[in-house]
Amino acid sequence: MSAFLLRALSLSLSLSLSLSLSLSVLCRCVCVWLCSRDTSVCVCVCVTSGDYCLTAGRDRLIKLWNPHTQLLIKTYKGHSLEVNSAEASRDNSRFVSGSSDKAVMMWDVATGQCIRKIRAHSGPVNDVRLNEDATIIVSASYDSTVKCWDLRSAQHEPVQTLPEATDSVPGLDLSGHEILTGSVDGVIRNYDMRMGKLRADTVGDPVTCVRFSHDNNCILAASLDGYVRLFDKDNGSLLGSYTGHVNSEFKVDCGLSYNDAIVAAGSEDGHLHLWDLVNGKELFKHQFHRNVICALSFHPKTHMHLNLASPQMCLATASIDGTVCIIKSPADVMKTLAKTESDE
């Protein structure tokens, strides 16, 4: 068994009991608020510190929130069509957004000003990512290309174009010198930009979301056959599969908890699903939204465990019903859950 799975197994054993959640107890740990009236929320991203989150959607606005108090801090205006993706820099001073207006925009968080606008693609921009020092933007588009943009250059052309996909590219992730993409053509592509290598693995059904594991040993991918799959990054072997959610028409997010022990995915029926990474057991399922959960984001620093001294956000979800849900994991509730399970 790989070191990744051994580490995840030890974590998941302690989590299995506490995350078999009782609905009545869980609802005390949840805060839901209306983020955008009469319009969908397609983006929900916890920024690097975990103290703030960005939301965006069909109203063309990007909003910065304090998720703990539901305080709207600032609104960013500039896109002419719905915003499909956003990501903040590591120092939280800037963020990048991608829209169906075919543009990629870099924003100054404090001033609210757009500091760079790129007419990036010939089709809607599905996803965007920033490298570690926020000097390179990577964008994925409906036009079936992935492009890299050097923010240090005044040139309006990409420094690299990746044209291998034969259909829309809705899924994108970045880790160091590697670019991971998922395409409607059913292929996961991992580009090693330093070595100039491409590894392509065929899933078959349209791949709508891809994520590197936090230890960078595995790849998580969601596809429209209703499965989330875990692959070994180096050889492409299937390590696990997770199902039970509804995903046949829309892009729904998937992700891994900060400690890589929990797999999460949204569902077209508004349910959030959590699975044990190692054994694939569904740990939790609950309907937090009235419609498709199209975005989810784990807290970048908080573990889902029993040792939290005070209530902290551990997961945020967003839906096309216009709501955002913040799920918290206070120590007393988690202990109650564990006691409930042991009594049973």
CB neighbour class for 4 (10 Å; exposed up to 12, middle 13-18, buried from 19)? buried
Does pLDDT of 232 surpass 90?
yes
Would you say residue 111 lies in a domain?
A: yes
At position 12, the amino acid (one-letter code) is: S
Percentage of the chain lying above the pLDDT 70 cut? 80
Residue 60's Cβ-side half-sphere holds a number of Cα atoms within 13 Å equal to: 9
Assign 22 a pLDDT band (cuts: 50, 70, 90): very low
Would you say residue 50 lies in a domain?
A: yes
- The answer to whether residues 272 and 297 touch, using CB atoms and an 8 Å cutoff, is no
Tens-place pLDDT, residues 184-203: 999 999 999 999 999 999 99
Alpha helices in 78-145 (DSSP H): none
Q: Which residue has the tokens 């709501």?
A: 323
Q: Which residue has the tokens 């399970």?
A: 341
Does pLDDT of 9 surpass 80?
no
Please count the structural domains in the chain.
1
Does pLDDT of 265 surpass 70?
yes
Assign 300 a pLDDT band (cuts: 50, 70, 90): confident
Would you say residue 265 lies in a domain?
A: no
Would you say residue 196 lies in a domain?
A: yes
* CATH number for 91: 2.130.10.10
- The answer to whether residues 104 and 90 touch, using CB atoms and an 8 Å cutoff, is no
**Helix, strand, coil shares, percent, the chain, to 5:** 10, 45, 45
pTM for the model? 0.84
Would you say residue 344 lies in a domain?
A: no
Which of helix, strand or coil describes residue 90? coil
209 φ, ψ (degrees, to nearest 5): -150, 135
Would you say residue 166 lies in a domain?
A: yes
- Domain with 114, as residue range(s), is 3-10+36-257+274-285+299-314
Question: CA 14, CA 337: separation in Å to the nearest integer?
Answer: 13
Tens-place pLDDT, residues 201-225: 999 999 999 999 999 999 999 999 9
Would you say residue 141 lies in a domain?
A: yes
Would you say residue 20 lies in a domain?
A: no
Q: What is the mean pLDDT of the chain?
A: 84
* Predicted pLDDT of residue 335: 43
